[in-house]
Amino acid sequence: MHDVIRDVAISIASKEKRAVLVKNGVQEWPDKHEYESCTAISLLSMNIQELPDDLECPQLRILTLQCDNHSLKVPDNLFKGMEKLEVLKMIDLCILSVPSSLSNLVNLQVLCLTGCELADVSLLKELRKLEILSFDGSDIKELAPEIRQLTRLRQLDLRNCNELTVIPPNVISSLTRLEELYIPHRFDKWEVEATNKERSNMSLVELDALNRLTALELHIPNVTVLPKKLLFEKLIRFQISIGCDGFGSQDYSLARTMKFTGIPLKDELTVLLHRAEVLYLNELQGLENVLRDRDGDKFLDLKYLEVEKCESIRQLLGKLTPLGSMCKLTVLKVGNCRMKYLFSLSILRGLVQLQHLEIKECEIVEEIVGDEEEVTDMVVFPKLKIMALEYLPNLRSFYPKMKKKSRKEENLDIPAQPLFNEKIAFPALEKLIIERLEKMREIWDNQLSRLPPVVV
């Protein structure tokens, strides 16, 4: 339950201490004496043929109805006798047209039409006190223009509305009290504001009118529809993908997530990038300056980082990256990048939470931990459980035992180093995957016996 819905429900529940009816697996509608004096009714997994024509529940504040299939239809007068209703949640019901009696719910604050079959929802404009409106998982195809009249809305949830193709222009920008806006990742009909023709769909410029917005989810398939300026500084929660196919079935609903593919990074986007918890970077140019930003603390909340085909990166984090950056990182995946090494020693000391490290198909990488200075300190990954090193044809050492050769030493016969030596430790390692490391002749430096049991 999201914050806004939770706050409203708690507020209502705290005021009401009367009868509550909760039933699961309902085979027949309850008798009138069971529900007529209730302030809250929840009937789940209903397997009944029809709902009553009307319900006389003058004290009802909260109503939840959930059907096992979409065949159950909502009678037109169902809500006629519940004028005090404040929260209405209908799940998996067939609502071809909004019942006219819904307009009687003048006190309704929360309306959730989850997984419902919907057609005309224009009548919702009568619910002027509505603060939360959710169509999550419904088959709505067009957001009714009349929704713009719901000026008290704090949350609009359109997630998983996979058939939604039209969000009429100026509807979202009219909802100036919105705090949370969730647009389905499959919605890709964004239009550009500066066009001579009349728009038939929403423009991203409309987001600038939402000064109270703190939570946002959306997918932008084409960077050309991005306006010159977007104000994202106030966002607390976000899940934004740009230039790619969205997030698929992965669920990061509780995380601050960014996914970029093949786009130039604008300043307003890097503001969110630095605050992300989950970050995907794919085929980005000019990324080196972002990951090596030396001005202030960056990536302090980052837990998951995946970098793929970003050829401009020369090292993942530089020596002068602020101390503490990526201190919460637990998963790191790097593939198809042109780096000679990933980290400096100073950065590696901060990765104390790292549990999963995966490096693949980086053709020129020579070391995982690299430094121009004399290598003397021991490196410990205290929580690393899974490590995969695959298709790294030039990898010479994970962490070099001796400093890099000078030009005069290039021709000296210096023995090849093992992949792992006594200066590297993985006390929690459970799984190690090594494949196609063509320059490696030895994996362990006589220290295998000091490791815990590992699947190799």
- What percent of the chain clears pLDDT 90, i.e. is strictly above it? 43
* Dihedral sign computed on CA atoms, order 378, 379, 384, 390: negative
For 261, the enclosing helix (H) or strand (E) is strand 257-261
Q: Is residue 219 part of a domain?
A: no
50, two tokens: 């029809």
| Residue located via tokens 């039209």 | 166
Strand 331-335 and strand 356-360: pairing?
parallel
Final residue in a domain of this structure, among 131, 163, 182: 182
pTM of the model: 0.85
**Which of 161, 182, 203 is the C-terminal boundary of a domain?**
182
Q: What is the average per-residue pLDDT within 383-412? A: 77
- Give the alpha-carbon dihedral of 400, 405, 410, 412, to 10 degrees: -70
What CATH number is associated with residue 116? 3.80.10.10
One-letter amino acid of 68? D
- DSSP output for 320-347: TSPTTTTTT--EEEEES---SEEE-HHH
For residue 371, tell me if it sits in a domain: yes
Number of structural domains, the chain?
2
Identify whether 248 is part of a domain. no
The lowest-confidence range among 13-17, 95-99, 208-212 is 13-17
State whether the Cα torsion 66-71-72-73 is positive or negative. positive
Torsion of Cα atoms, 327 then 333 then 334 then 336, to 10°: -170
Tell whether the torsion through CA atoms of 384, 390, 394 and 396 is positive or negative.
Answer: positive
- For 191, counting Cβ atoms within 10 Å of its Cβ (0-12 exposed, 13-18 middle, 19+ buried), the class is middle
Amino acid, single-letter form, for residue 444: W
- Whole-angstrom CA distances from 258 to 131, 176, 329, 335 are 27, 25, 15, 18
Domain boundary among 182, 214, 249: 182
Any domain includes 302: no
Residue pair 167/144 in contact by the 8 Å Cβ criterion: no
- 390 forms beta bridges with 360, 435
Confidence of residue 349 (pLDDT cuts 50, 70, 90): confident
In a domain, 239, yes or no: no
Query: Residue 119: which domain range?
Result: 1-182
Rounded to whole angstroms, the Cα distance separating 155 from 141 reads 19
Residue with token string 């140019």: 285
> Which pLDDT band, with edges at 50, 70 and 90, does 449 fall under?
very low
Residue 379 banded pLDDT, cuts 50, 70, 90:
confident
Q: How far apart are CA 124 and CA 146, in angstroms?
A: 8
Query: Does residue 265 belong to any structural domain of this protein?
Result: no
Task: Name residues whose C-beta falls within 8 Å of residue 99's C-beta, 6 or more positions apart in sequence.
Answer: 74, 75, 76, 77, 78, 79
- Read off the pLDDT of residues 128-163 as tens digits, 9 standing for 90 and up: 999 999 999 999 999 999 999 999 999 999 999 999
328 occurs within a structural domain: no
* Three-state secondary structure call for residue 172: helix
Within a domain: 322? no
User: Distance between CA atoms of 295 and 93, rounded to whole angstroms?
Assistant: 53
Residue 289, C-beta contacts closer than 8 angstroms, at least 6 positions apart = none
